[in-house]
Amino acid sequence: MIFFVTEDQKFLELVTGRLRKMGKSTRGISHIEDLWTHLRQTPPDIIILDGNCPHIDTIEALKHLKADGYKGQTIVLGGGSSAPLVPEVSRFGAIQTAGRPLAINRILGAIRIAQEHVSMDLCYSLANRQGESWA
């Protein structure tokens, strides 16, 4: 499951529509408050935050996700206005890519990288569980 969080309704529909056409389970979220509700109900593998929205404080959202123990991958969509966030975003382990002006191929590339990380984390987790039972 992928959550896509942006206040821009057209961008939300475009990206979620494209992801669904590709067979990806996707939920579009237009208010950051709704993210926390949906996160408790169905934790996604990947969360994409649009870092160019005036009412979405990306750094606060990343802090909140970390405090809540979110184990999935996070992608922050940036652009010219969010360039200073790069070092801060990286400290939270998030992937940052250009999202504006619309760069759907970069978004899809970031999703592929995030999915690889999720798969590797799952494999590592399973290997650790098997190792525990051998001890």
Q: Model confidence over 14-24: pLDDT tens digits?
A: 999 999 999 99
Q: 45: how many CB neighbours lie within 10 A of its CB?
A: 20
Which range (45-49, 57-61, 81-85, 116-120) has the least confidence? 81-85
Q: Model confidence over 69-126: pLDDT tens digits?
A: 999 999 998 865 555 566 788 888 888 877 666 678 888 888 988 988 888 765 555 4
Q: Give whole-number Cα distances, 31 to 26, 53, 105, in Å.
A: 16, 10, 24
Considering the segment(s) 2-134 as one domain, its CATH architecture is 3-Layer(aba) Sandwich (3.40)
Give residue limits of the domains in the chain: 2-134
Amino acid at residue number 74: T
Query: Is the pLDDT assigned to residue 133 strictly greater than 70?
Result: no
Task: Collect all residues with Cβ–Cβ distance below 8 Å to 71 and sequence separation of at least 6.
Answer: 43, 121
